[in-house]
């Protein structure tokens, strides 16, 4: 069995990697368990050193990592360089703040001393996707490692080079052997890995069906898990919004990573009195986008990660148009070579339409017209997903109130696009998963919150 690196811009396989056999998997689990016993005893200062060095390496070689991402999954090189830099940021953030986040907390009781402590659990299995092949891994690994856990990475099968490169970065940074390991295994091995006694926790970023399968396995074996799943983020453009500014933010968000982001703008919910202007602005901006080889500096967006994903996206667009949506731009499948799909704008998207109900993972904007501001909020919440949301209004105080009290999502932004930040908790509700990554909340997901009471 092999895992292949296929350039989605050309369809050419440029590298093959051997998958691990059963003996190698067993050895990796045993090594992770053994490494945990010594890693957990190190001070926070000692654990921070390889994270800080990993940050330096990520920044020093960001261009090479950006090109690797472009070759394996089609991300424009500039975005890949930025992703390496953001990965460095999260390493530094937890190196600098991990000790404070996990410091014992005294509690006043009748005992001589009572406190809450935070101790690591053991090996954590990270099941990661291809769309942000460095950032998704580092944002899970940095807090887990800083807390004293070890980690085994099961990365997406189409980015094996990125998976192994991340392990090499940690090794070069001085992380002890087997504290972080990349496992080149298929998805068919995930359930067995979760069930293995060596694994003490599971974190997944992926689709909602994958989340249901992982949660089922984790629940069966009583393993804690964090699930960051799909999203169909609503961007609500109220009747008093600055339409040109809102359109610029919406298009920027929709096209990040060629639209292949769980928190990209997916549904543009627009009040009727600004709809015509908004549609024109979005079409103008989407039409100006240059799509092509992600390794070329002139390409704003690249191909989708695989041709099957391109074809599935086009099927969603075709079904949406058949169900009554109007296509204002794009909407054609260019075929091969490569997995390219043009920037596309759909409007008149109504309930029951695939573009209303499903997550569109690619450069397709769906405009949902509504009569007024209240209908816009109701439509935003009319979704099985709840990862991110944004609201655009000339009244930021009102926008904050809507974001805080009305929108059903884990991350809500006012007059800006949704993004992850190491300083803020990140995660969703409903079919977008549960648990939180990043900030103080993220580092406490895979620790034993232990009560200690001393009578005298």
- Catalytic-role residue among 83, 165, 228, 279: 228
Q: Specify whether 13 is catalytic.
A: no
Q: DSSP characters for 386-426?
A: -SEEEEE-S-HHHHHHHHHHT--SSEEEESS-----TTS-B
Name beta bridge partners: 228: 205, 433
What is the strand order of the sheet 105-106 is part of? 105-106, 113-120, 447-454
Convert 337-348 to b/e letters by CB count within 10 Å (16 or more is b). ebbbbbbbbbbb
Q: DSSP for 430-447?
A: GGGEES-BSHHHHHTTTE
Report the candidate in 69, 247, 79, 42 with the shortest Cα–Cα distance to residue 158. 69
Name the active-site residue from 162, 262, 411, 412.
262
Q: How far apart are CA 400 and CA 415, in angstroms?
A: 10
Closest by alpha carbon to 137, among 187, 65, 33? 65
Apex CA 426: angle with CA 184 and CA 8, to 5°? 40
Q: What is the Cα–Cα distance from 384 to 230, expressed in whole angstroms?
A: 10
**CA 14 and chain centroid, separation:** 26
Q: For residues 253 and 187, give the distance between their C-alpha atoms in angstroms, rounded to a whole number.
A: 30
Query: Is 56 annotated in the active site?
Result: no
Which amino acids are annotated catalytic? 228, 262
């Amino acid at each position: 069995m092999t895992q292949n690196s296929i350039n989605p811009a050309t369809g050419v396989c440029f590298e093959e990697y051997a998958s691990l056999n059963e003996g190698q998997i067993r050895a990796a689990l045993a090594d992770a368990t053994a490494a945990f016993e010594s890693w957990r005893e190190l001070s926070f200062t000692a654990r921070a050193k390889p994270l800080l060095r990993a940050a330096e390496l990520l920044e020093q070689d960001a261009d090479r990592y950006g090109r690797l991402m472009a070759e394996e999954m089609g991300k424009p090189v500039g975005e890949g360089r930025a992703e390496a830099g953001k990965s460095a940021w999260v390493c530094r953030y937890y190196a600098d703040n991990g000790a404070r986040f996990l410091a014992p907390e005294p509690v006043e009781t009748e005992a001589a001393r009572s406190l809450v402590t935070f101790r690591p659990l053991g090996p954590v299995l990270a099941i990661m996707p291809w769309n942000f092949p460095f950032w998704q891994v580092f944002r899970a690994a940095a807090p887990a490692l800083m807390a004293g856990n070890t980690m085994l990475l099961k990365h997406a099968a189409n980015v094996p080079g990125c998976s192994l490169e991340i392990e090499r970065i940690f090794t070069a940074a001085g992380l002890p052997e087997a504290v972080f390991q990349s496992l080149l295994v298929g998805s068919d091995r995930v359930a067995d890995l979760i069930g293995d006694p060596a694994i003490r926790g599971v974190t997944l970023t992926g689709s909602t069906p994958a989340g249901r399968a992982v949660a089922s396995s984790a629940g069966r074996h009583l393993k804690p898990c964090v699930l960051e799943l799909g999203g169909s983020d609503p961007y609500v453009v109220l009747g008093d919004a600055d339409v040109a500014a809102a359109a610029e933010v919406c298009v920027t968000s929709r096209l990040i990573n060629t639209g292949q982001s769980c928190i990209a703008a997916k549904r543009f919910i627009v009040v009727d009195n600004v709809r015509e202007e908004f549609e024109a602005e979005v079409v103008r901006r989407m039409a100006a986008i240059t799509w092509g080889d992600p390794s070329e500096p002139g390409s704003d967006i690249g191909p989708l990660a695989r041709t099957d994903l391109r074809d599935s996206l086009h099927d969603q667009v075709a079904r949406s148009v058949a169900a009554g949506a109007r296509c204002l731009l794009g909407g054609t499948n260019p075929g091969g070579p490569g997995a390219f799909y043009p920037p596309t704008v759909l409007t008149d998207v109504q309930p029951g339409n695939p573009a209303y109900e499903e997550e569109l993972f690619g450069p397709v904007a769906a405009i949902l017209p509504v009569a007024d501001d209240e209908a816009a909020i109701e439509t935003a919440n009319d979704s099985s997903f709840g990862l991110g949301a944004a609201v655009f209004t000339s009244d930021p105080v009102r926008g904050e109130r809507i974001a805080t009290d009305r929108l059903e999502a884990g991350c809500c932004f006012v007059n800006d696009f949704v993004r992850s930040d190491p300083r803020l908790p990140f995660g969703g509700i409903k079919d977008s998963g549960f648990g939180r990554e990043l900030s103080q909340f993220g580092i406490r997901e895979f620790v034993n919150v232990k009560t200690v009471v001393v009578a005298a």
